[in-house]
Amino acid sequence: MLDTHARKYVQPSIERTGKWLVDKGLTPNQVTFIAFLVGISAGGFYILKLPIIAVIVLWISGFLDAVDGTMARLTTPSPFGTVMDITFDRVVEIAIILAIAFVHPDVLWPLLLLSVSIIFSMTIFLTVGAVSEKQGIKSFYYQAGLAERSEGFILFSIMMLFPSLLWWSTLAFFTVELFTGMQRFFEAKRILS
């Protein structure tokens, strides 16, 4: 929801950063890879009991993840870049979930439910993107929903920064993802029928 409706407020800084990185000779795929490395390092920082640093680098990776798409639109978009972007996004999420599970093994069941809801929602998102003839600003049809990347980062941040709320924040994340999956499913029925 935030990625769809609030992006316009941060897009100027994303565009400035994207243009600056293009001027420095970086490609969108290189920035995607940097965002990936920074993102998975968040899991490592969390395991090292540095949750504030983990959250900061997670958000830096998210910012770079937005920048790489803008860079692609400024240069030449690459279908493989889209595959890298979506795949690396999921691996970063997996790294955070695994790090939280490592530090808090008592929350394995809520984390498992969260993982299932992410798989469910992303399966619908990617399938609709693949079969839809609609295309937007991105290289595939982007289904907006209650939980987009920013909401996920907010919830991951709460999970990492407030361990006393971990059980409930994980279940809240699960509920939001499940709702988003259903939202996307019913939208798919409407646009693809």
For the domain bounded by 2-192, which CATH number is listed? 1.20.120.1760
Mean per-residue pLDDT over the chain, rounded: 91
Residue 137 vs residue 130, higher pLDDT = 130
Of 8 and 110, the one with more pLDDT: 110
165-190 residue pLDDT tens: 999 999 999 999 999 999 989 988 88
pLDDT over threshold 70, residue 141: no
Q: How many CB atoms lie within 10 A of CB 151?
A: 18
18-54 pLDDT per residue, tens: 999 999 999 999 999 999 999 999 999 999 999 999 9
Q: Which amino acid, one-letter code, is at 166?
A: L
In angstroms, the CA 33 to CA 104 distance is: 28
pLDDT at 2: 64
| Helices and strands: H and E segment counts in the chain | 8, 0
The residue among 76 and 22 whose pLDDT is bigger is 22
Six token digits for residue 82 = 């889209």
Helix axes 108-131, 79-103, angle to 10 degrees: 170
pLDDT confidence band for 105 (50 / 70 / 90): very high
- Enter the pTM of the model: 0.89
Residue-wise pLDDT tens digits, 80-93? 998 999 999 999 99
| Annotated domain spans of the chain | 2-192
Distance of alpha carbon 9 from its chain centroid, rounded?
Answer: 18
* Residue 117 vs residues 24, 27, 92, 124: alpha-carbon distances, Å: 39, 33, 16, 11
Q: How far apart are CA 156 and CA 151, in angstroms?
A: 9
